Amino acid sequence: MHGAGNDFLLVDGRGQARNWEALAQAMCERNFGVGADGLLVAIEPQREHARMRLFNADGSEAEMSGNGVRCFAKFVVENGIASAEGTTLNVETGAGVIRLDLVLDGESVTGARVDMGLPRFAPADVPVAVEREPPVLDLTVQVEGASLAVTCVSMGNPHAVHFVSGAVADFPLRSIGPQVERHVLFPARVNFEVARVLDRSHIESRTWERGVGETKACGTGASAIMVSARLHGFVGDRVEVREPGGSLTLEWDGEGHVFLTGPAAYVYAGDWPD
């Protein structure tokens, strides 16, 4: 499945004891495996409707994915793994319980409005290794070939957002992204977003995801971009974030929860040989 081009493999892992890290590496490899940005595993929930584990393409486990959780909701509902209450589905993740308001076309889930929770700004919560009062805006990050000003936000996982004046397509993300991801300032590594504000309601962006590389879209990244842009006074309460794989709608009033609305699409199913 994919959400705005951010693609995932989904499996029902209930009752299975597997090395999900190794399986994610094998399955997500785009030349010798199936190919995907990550592996989403449905396991037995503790209290809510469903529970999700997310493994990046490199085998590392991530807390949450805004695009992935929409795909996960489609997967568990349409396969009878979980039942929503009306159009509401609560999913346990590594970043806490995520509430989704499902968009339905008959029995099919075509997308969702996701409550992404409260953004966190304290350096220890991101985490970012600086002593500064939050929020951390325009932090200078020196990498080979560039001096970047990043805004640091946690959306349940760490993000560093850099605003540019030119087209994001021209930014050397594939060389700069890996350096920012593993920079000494980010002890848990970091997701790196480059964004350009087009007007007060539209932003274009690209994302280098921790443990994955460049992706077609990133839901938590789009959320971090929205929060960062609003903190700078660049945008209002509602923004369309245009990513290479499609557009996501973000809402944030500057104080409460961030809401993300976007699609979830089925691509194909198959069997993985053990």
- The owner of tokens 């190794």 is 22
263 inside domain: no
Does 274 have pLDDT greater than 90? no
218 inside domain: yes
265 inside domain: no
pLDDT tens column, 223-267: 999 999 999 999 999 999 999 999 999 999 999 999 999 999 999
Answer yes or no: do 153 and 61 share one domain.
Answer: no
Answer yes or no: do 78 and 148 share one domain.
Answer: no
Answer yes or no: do 81 and 181 share one domain.
Answer: no
- Quick one: 16 exposed, middle or buried, by C-beta within 10 A (0-12, 13-18, 19+)? exposed
77 inside domain: yes
125 inside domain: no
Answer yes or no: do 178 and 98 share one domain.
Answer: no
Answer yes or no: do 98 and 23 share one domain.
Answer: yes
Which pLDDT does position 145 carry in this prediction?
86
pLDDT tens column, 184-212: 999 999 999 999 999 999 999 999 999 99
pLDDT tens column, 145-164: 899 999 999 999 999 999 99
- To the nearest whole number, what is the mean pLDDT of the chain? 97
Answer yes or no: do 160 and 110 share one domain.
Answer: no
Answer yes or no: do 62 and 161 share one domain.
Answer: no
pLDDT tens column, 63-111: 999 999 999 999 999 999 999 999 999 999 999 999 999 999 999 999 9
Answer yes or no: do 158 and 228 share one domain.
Answer: yes
237: domain CATH number? 3.10.310.10
Answer yes or no: do 111 and 140 share one domain.
Answer: no
Answer yes or no: do 102 and 153 share one domain.
Answer: no
Answer yes or no: do 154 and 246 share one domain.
Answer: yes
123 inside domain: no
Answer yes or no: do 149 and 229 share one domain.
Answer: yes
Cβ neighbors of 202 (< 8 A, separation 6 or more) are 239, 240, 242
Residue 200: domain span: 136-256
pLDDT tens column, 111-136: 999 999 999 999 999 999 999 999 99
154 inside domain: yes
Which residue, of 69, 85, 115, is where some domain finishes? 115
| Buried/exposed code over 99-115 (b: 16+ C-beta within 10 A; e: otherwise) | bbbbbeeeeebebbbbb
Which pLDDT does position 25 carry in this prediction?
98
Share of the chain above pLDDT 70, in %: 100
124 inside domain: no
Please tell me the total count of domains within the chain: 2
